[in-house]
């Protein structure tokens, strides 16, 4: 039985990629698993001229192509698409919102839905204010009666710097209450990111070690093998710092770094994360070169195939200064983390697709087992693999059998795929369900978004204002500029490389 109230899910940008690849397949999977109520409707909005039937057919194609559960059950699929409707709408035309209101009213009557609307803004952010204002003019933002709800989900980016984020938050908060607003960060919906909380707070053995006394440093990696694909136009105005670090990766860092909550409630979790963001030590313009390395992929040959540079991608400025790689060292100035460096590395066209967190524990204070064979004692590592091959790995030293006391690092490895009944749902399934249930725990709050921009802005500004800060080229298929290694104070330290570069003779990639 579903706990979700009857609802209409209204998608601005209903014909776009996000709707096709993520939103509609996620809603279908929720429906298939019985998580949606008997009465609901989905209304796609866009400028294209579909009718309900032709829109439904496109959505069937999307589900067939992108649904997690394949093949979709035919009966369920046809029942599901009968709940989908389409209305053409030009977001800048007020009269179209009047028509939208009428259409919502008629669907609501026909499908027996009692006034609960979830608006999803899968649009470029420059439309957020415009659309919200029109929803207000039409009175669509306010609860119809006691017990019914109106909510709005905003896709990232929330602003492109602190100033624009503040202005966007202010405008939207003039129309909707904070608890009606859901700022989506799909990384927070990933099962393995949620599991960081369970791992930390449902186990007694790790938490005592989770601080500056035992942890040497923390590494967060989000590598992508793909380039910018067909998103050059957007990406060239964004770059890796805004696209990945400002949101997904700092959210992961906060999940790793936050204090335990006393009750698992949205406010408590978000308050603790906010404290982490507020404790981020600002990187001054003169420190940017010491703490941040940026790169951009250049031409290369991967397994005999030519791969062209970022500047040759569609809709990218041939002289673009946009970074497709960032490596960043930062500190969280609080009691738990004082002095522990956090390292983030992300990029496009790296050797493989992998997102992971590596907790590097301090080495033993004294090395007892000194042998000729120099297996230098490594600190223990805890590796939380967020994707793919979701799981957790612990590395520790073991005696190599035989004479002497040679120590070798071995692994204890858990894979989600070993759980026979495990089905890792898509991030969007969890997040959409939460928004329908009114649970904002896994969504970003206005104050957090602004606190993160406060940290990001000086880096971005230093890059923009100081052209002498280098943008390093790195061949596509490699782990980014070698200068990224210089972020470690200790020259024996290095990043973790889950596989080798793809460009050399010995190129391989196996996790």
Q: Annotated catalytic sites, by residue?
A: 248
From 289, 329, 344, 325, select the one nearest 463 (Cα to Cα). Answer: 289
The smaller minimum CB distance to ligand BG6, of residues 89 and 158, is found at 158
For residue 191, state whether it binds ligand BG6 (rule: CB under 6 A): no
Distance between first and last Cα of the chain: 40
Binding pattern for the stretch 349-368 against ligand BG6, x by CB under 6 A and - elsewhere: ------x-------------
Paired tokens of 136: 């207000």
Q: Does 224 bind ligand BG6 (CB under 6 A)?
A: yes
Answer yes or no whether residue 323 interacts with ligand BG6 by CB under 6 A: no
Please, what is the minimum distance in Å from the beta carbon of residue 428 to ligand BG6? 10
Closer CB to ligand BG6, 56 or 242, in the complex: 242
Minimum Å gap between C-beta 355 and ligand BG6 is 6
CB of 178 to ligand BG6, least distance (A): 23
**DSSP3 helix / strand / coil % (the chain, rounded to 5):** 35, 20, 40
- For ligand BG6, the nearest residue by Cβ is 243
Q: State the Cα angle at 357 between 351 and 363, rounded to 5°.
A: 110
Closer to ligand BG6 by Cβ: residue 89 or 442: 442
Find the binder of ligand BG6 among 5, 236, 243, 429 (CB under 6 A). 243
Considering the complex, state which of residue 108 and residue 155 has its C-beta at the smaller distance from ligand BG6. 155
Number of residues that bind ligand BG6 (CB under 6 A): 3
Distance of closest approach, residue 273 Cβ to ligand BG6, in angstroms: 18
Beta strands in 371-477 (DSSP E): 381-387, 391-399, 407-415, 471-475
Beta bridge partners of 360: 217, 381
Exposure string over 50-88, b if 16+ CB within 10 A, otherwise e = beeeebbebbbebbeebbbbeebeeeebeebbebbbbbb
Q: Supply the minimum distance, in Å, between the C-beta of residue 238 and ligand BG6.
A: 8
DSSP element (H, E) containing 25: helix 24-32
Residue 492 to residues 250, 396, 485, Cα–Cα distance (Å): 26, 18, 10
What's the closest the beta carbon of residue 19 comes to ligand BG6, in angstroms? 15
133 vs 353 by CB, closer to ligand BG6: 353
CB 13 within 8 A of CB 20: no
Beta pairing partners, 295: 325, 472
Q: List, in order, residues 6 or more apart from 457 with CB less than 8 Å away.
A: 161, 162
Pick between residue 22 and residue 395 the one whose CB is nearest to ligand BG6: 22
- DSSP characters over 215-237: EEEEEEEEE-SS--TT-HHHHTT
Which CB sits closer to ligand BG6, 385 or 395?
385
Is residue 313 part of the contact set for ligand BG6 (CB under 6 A)?
no
Nearest approach in angstroms of CB 326 to ligand BG6 is 12
Interface residues toward ligand BG6, by CB under 6 A: 224, 243, 355
């Amino acid at each position: 039985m579903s706990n979700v109230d009857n609802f209409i899910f209204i998608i601005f940008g209903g014909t776009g990629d996000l709707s096709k690849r993520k939103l509609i397949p996620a809603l279908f999977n929720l429906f298939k698993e019985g998580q949606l109520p008997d009465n609901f409707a989905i209304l796609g909005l866009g400028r294209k001229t579909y009718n309900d039937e032709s829109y439904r057919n496109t959505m069937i194609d999307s589900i067939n192509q992108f649904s997690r559960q394949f093949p979709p059950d035919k009966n369920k699929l046809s029942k599901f698409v009968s709940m989908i409707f389409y209305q053409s709408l030009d977001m800048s035309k007020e009269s179209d919102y009047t028509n939208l209101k009428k259409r919502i009213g008629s669907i609501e009557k026909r499908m027996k839905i009692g006034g609960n609307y979830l608006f999803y803004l899968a649009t470029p952010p420059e439309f957020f204010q415009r659309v919200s204002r029109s929803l207000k003019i039409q009175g669509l933002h306010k609860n119809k009666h006691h017990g019914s709800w109106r909510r709005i989900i905003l896709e990232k980016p929330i602003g492109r710097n602190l100033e624009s984020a503040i202005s966007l938050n202010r405008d939207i908060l003039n129309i909707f209450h904070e608890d009606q607003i859901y700022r989506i960060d799909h990384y927070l919906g990933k099962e393995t990111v949620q599991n960081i909380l369970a791992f930390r707070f449902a186990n007694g053995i790790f938490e005592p070690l989770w601080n500056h006394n035992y942890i040497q440093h923390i590494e967060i990696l989000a590598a992508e093998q793909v380039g910018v694909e067909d998103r050059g136009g957007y990406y060239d105005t964004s770059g890796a710092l805004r696209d990945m670090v400002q949101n997904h990766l700092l959210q992961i860092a906060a999940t790793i770094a936050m204090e335990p909550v006393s009750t698992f409630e949205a406010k408590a979790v978000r308050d603790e994360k906010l404290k982490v963001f507020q404790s981020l030590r600002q990187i001054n313009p003169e420190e940017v070169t010491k703490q941040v390395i940026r790169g951009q992929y250049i031409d290369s040959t991967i397994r005999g195939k030519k791969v062209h540079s970022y500047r040759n991608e569609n809709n990218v400025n041939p002289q673009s200064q946009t970074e497709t790689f960032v490596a960043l060292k930062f500190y969280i100035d609080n009691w738990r983390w004082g002095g522990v460096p956090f390292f983030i590395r992300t990029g496009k066209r790296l050797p493989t697709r992998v997102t992971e967190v590596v907790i590097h524990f301090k080495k033993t204070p004294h090395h007892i087992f000194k042998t000729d064979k120099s297996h230098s004692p490594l600190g223990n590592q805890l590796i939380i693999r967020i994707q793919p091959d979701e799981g957790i790995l612990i590395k520790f030293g073991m005696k190599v059998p035989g004479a002497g006391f040679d120590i070798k690092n071995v692994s204890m490895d858990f894979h989600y795929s070993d759980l026979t009944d495990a089905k890792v749902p898509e991030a969007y399934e969890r997040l959409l369900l939460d928004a329908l249930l009114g649970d904002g725990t896994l969504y970003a709050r206005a104050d957090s978004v602004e606190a993160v921009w406060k940290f990001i802005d000086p880096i971005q500004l230093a890059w923009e204002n100081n052209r002498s800060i280098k943008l390093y080229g790195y061949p596509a298929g490699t782990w980014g500029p070698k200068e990224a290694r210089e972020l470690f104070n200790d020259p024996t330290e290095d990043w973790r490389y889950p596989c080798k570069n793809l460009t050399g003779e010995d190129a391989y990639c196996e996790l």
